[in-house]
Structure 1
Amino acid sequence: MSEKENFLTIKENGSVELVIKKSRFIATIARTTSTDEANKFIQKISKQYRDATHNTFAYTIGLNDDQVKESDNGEPSGTAGVPELKALQLMNLKNVTVVVTRYFGGIKLGAGGLIRAYSNSVTNAVEKIGVIKRVLQQELIFSVPYNRFDEIDHYLKTNKIFIANAEYGVDVKIHIFLDDDNQENTKNDLTNLLSGQVTFTKGEKRYNEIPVKSNNYHEQ
């Protein structure tokens, strides 16, 4: 997986149920970073709902949909797994596996109805569980005198930069995380605010999670 790319995924693992014409559709969704993780999750959920009529699934692994798989698990070909996979891809989600369990309620939905039911089950689950953007950021560490902390804190909050950690010693040592394309501007601003009396140290690089409020996931 390239560390240079940011991506969308689900906020957390979860399960959401829809009832459509008396059939129960339970979409259980999880973050998975390998096909091995995906397959273990599918086996676990299929075992949990072993008495269900169908346990269909879809997954996409990798930032470029490098490994994808879907299964109708006995539903008419193309009516379950493919719509589930397309739903994940339309929302631009990465490293996600979904199992949609169906308990048949006695009313046949037809091919079109099944496609809509399985697709909507995934979309509905994702919207209720939530989406985050995983953003690769660089840690930046610098120290400020106590009497300048409030001013620097105000600048950071105004620019939606959050203090990851503050260590209180002779001065206040501040740890922040920045996108690659935001580092130089922030360093310049802080240098100007502190009249050049500041030294920056780079820390670790890590993925941080930012909530995505919009449903227009393809625009993120």
Structure 2
Amino acid sequence: MLFDDTYKTIAKPAEGLFKDRGSKFLAFAYPLHQEQEVKQHLDTLRSLHPKANHHCYAYRLGTDRSQFRVNDDGEPAGSAGRPILNVLLSKDISNVLVVVVRYFGGTLLGVPGLINAYKAATLEAMANAQVVEKTVNDLYEVSFDFEQMNDVMKIIKEFSLKISNQVYDNRCTLTLEVRKSLLNQVLNKIEKIDSASANYLHTL
């Protein structure tokens, strides 16, 4: 196999807490599917914790693990977002957003203290998270004449493909999730069916 088509992420949101000299660091980890969700989670946390001093975060997106962002939200540069991201990197987890909400306790912790606090809160959230391995799947729309239904269903059964949408008429359309490592085999078989065509939609 030329590439790894699995990645680790978290199954559902998780939380962690770290305290140091009166400051509280509340970590919230969320499964992430697209960048737009980051703002929604941040807005929710800001409305839940309006008196917090900082909402720092980091996220990793994409199955090639190359898409990430860090935000220190007013903390000294590199003292908050980067330590959060480093935990995600060290655990090799992707498609995850971690926001650490800080309530200032009156004592300055210094940059080393902040790095430690943001890392510890994130580690605590990760310890409480259920880490799952997922496959990288592409979504394809397959259309074919009704007479070819059995041929298409055979392929779906052979590769255990998941149907996420279906329209049955004289001309049928199925939306299928295909694991990347099986893609060539599946597409080759679909192409051999006279009336069938497969169109790539996007990667999940």
Normalization by structure 2: what TM-score?
0.64
The alignment's C-alpha RMSD in Å is: 2.4
Task: Report the identity percentage.
Answer: 29
Task: Write the distance in 2 (CA, Å) between the matches of 1:132 and 1:41.
Answer: 21
1:32/1:95 contact within 8 Å kept: yes
1:35/1:67 contact within 8 Å kept: no
Q: Give the SS at the match of 1:94.
A: coil
Counterpart of 2:34 in structure 1 is: 34
Counterpart of 1:132 in structure 2 is: 132
Query: 1:136–1:80: structure 2 CA closer, same or farther, 3 Å change rule?
Result: closer
1:203 aligns with 2:164: no
Counterpart of 1:15 in structure 2 is: 15
Q: In the alignment, residue 65 of structure 1 is paired with which amino acid? A: R
1:46 aligns with 2:46: yes
Task: Write the distance in 1 (CA, Å) between the matches of 2:55 and 2:47.
Answer: 9
Distance apart, 1:4 and its partner CA: 6.2
Q: Deviations over 1:120-148 (max 9, x none)?
A: 111111012231212469xxxxxxxxxxx
Distance apart, 1:78 and its partner CA: 0.8
Query: 1:69–1:136: structure 2 CA closer, same or farther, 3 Å change rule?
Result: closer
2:14/2:128 contact within 8 Å kept: no
Correspondences of 1:1-150 after superposition (within 5 Å)? 5-135=5-135
Normalization by structure 1: what TM-score?
0.60
1:49/1:55 contact within 8 Å kept: no
- Segments of 5+ residues of structure 1 without an aligned counterpart are 138-199, 208-220
Q: Deviations over 1:161-197 (max 9, x none)?
A: xxxxxxxxxxxxxxxxxxxxxxxxxxxxxxxxxxxxx
Q: In the alignment, residue 99 of structure 1 is paired with which amino acid? A: V
Distance apart, 1:93 and its partner CA: 0.5
Q: Deviations over 1:14-45 (max 9, x none)?
A: 22222122211100110011111122212221
- Aligned positions, number: 144
Counterpart of 2:144 in structure 1 is: none
- Segments of 5+ residues of structure 2 without an aligned counterpart are 138-156, 163-176, 179-204
